[in-house]
Structure 1
Amino acid sequence: MLEAKEERLSKLEKLVAGLEEKRRDLDDILEDVRRINERINELRKGVRERREEVGEELRKIESELKLLNERRDELLVEKGKVEEKLEASKVKLEELERELKDLVHKHYVAELFVRACNNAAEEVGRFVLDQVKREAASIWGRVRGGVWEVDWDKKLLPFLRSGGVEYVAEQLSGAEKVVLFVALRVSLAKRLGNPGFLIFDEPIEHLDEKNKEFLKEILLRLPEEGVKQLIVASCDEGLLEAEWDNVIRLSS
């Protein structure tokens, strides 16, 4: 009976020892689980914090992007205004270039006229020059009416005289300057030895219809008076439709 109890006690002690060992193993497992849970919580906390940081960064980026888009729209508006001003400036520049070209051309023609007068004055005497003046005054008088004298100063700049009053070229209108210029050119050609050809650029521009017809008749008679070749550049249809030997039309 005693042996049976001792055997039973021994089994119980072994069982208790086994349970104690399992309890320690379980404690170890629970400790591992606790550490894992702590790590999981730390990771979750880190993820939340990182998510908040990322969200804040995204909000900042969106705010900056909005400002940049607004600035871009402003710049596009400014660009449109600048382009409009640039186009207007280009148009104005083209107009100024055309005006400059016209002024250069007129200046060149004036220089040619002055040179021609200088050369003519050195080659001919007072008598022939008086004939030139009378011829030019006759043409001018037929256009303007009245009694006129045509003369030029020491610099060979032409002027008019009527009734004791002198009129320099600066006092004449654009049309009057054209008439005086044509009158002098024609007179020089007829009285100073015909050069064989004459060139006129828009000779009747700014004139009224009566004076246009008068100067057109003068130009048409020049070939009969010894001018071998007459070249006239004009945009006036009335002048182009006159009885010329040849008419060449140029397109722009």
Structure 2
Amino acid sequence: MRIALLGYGKMGKAIEEIAIAKGHQIVLKVSRETNYDLSTIDVAIDFSIPEMAVTHLTNCLEAGVPVVSGTTGWLKDYDKITTLCDTKKGAFLYASNFSVGVNIFFELNKRLAELMAPLSEYNVSLEEIHHTQKLDAPSGTAITLAEGIISNTTNEKWELMEKESDNAFAKAEEKTIPISSKRTGQVPGTHIIDYKSPIDTITIKHEAHSRAGFAQGALLAAEWLVGKKGVFSMRDVLNIS
């Protein structure tokens, strides 16, 4: 495949390394540019920054280029992009996290929420830890996890807590999932969900060891998307019903 990398930071470089090893070509690499030639591109992969994502995605869909996006922090415009994709009969795939393991974790999270929903004595909280260069908080992955809990319990919203203590969690409003966001070192991504009661705690956790899982998943999604039309997610790629 001839690939465009829209955003050439650490994730872009990780995808480039894996793509070349698999025999693909990186034809275009852009960061903040808004005008570029997509005429020779088979698929684009967007890991840019929130303020550039909509421009990159719009450019691809207008040009008829399938595009995969892992940029977070721009989702207020998600409906705008999916409408454009449908209008142009294009192909668009967004995921807050492309790791195969994390997408399995998403499903585990929803199933656990279903089991915990009738048990009012348990209070749920969510913690995410990332490297200090991560721009958005909470992470897109944390938001996806919170939404998975909300859709399967009586919780109605999530709230980013300013402090990282159990006391801060205790201050969350009723029917609100407290999220703690930590930024430290070079942590690729850790997500922890706790259900605490007066007598015990149930915890599930996903810990990434490197960016390789995210990069491999993004490339897998790009390979899968070529030749398709519509709006998709990693659930489609992994055939999770």
The TM-score normalised by the length of structure 1 is 0.22
Q: Which has the higher helix share?
A: 1
Q: Relative contact order (alpha carbons < 8 A, sep ≥ 6): 1 or 2 greater?
A: 2
Q: Which has the higher strand share?
A: 2
The TM-score normalised by the length of structure 2 is 0.23
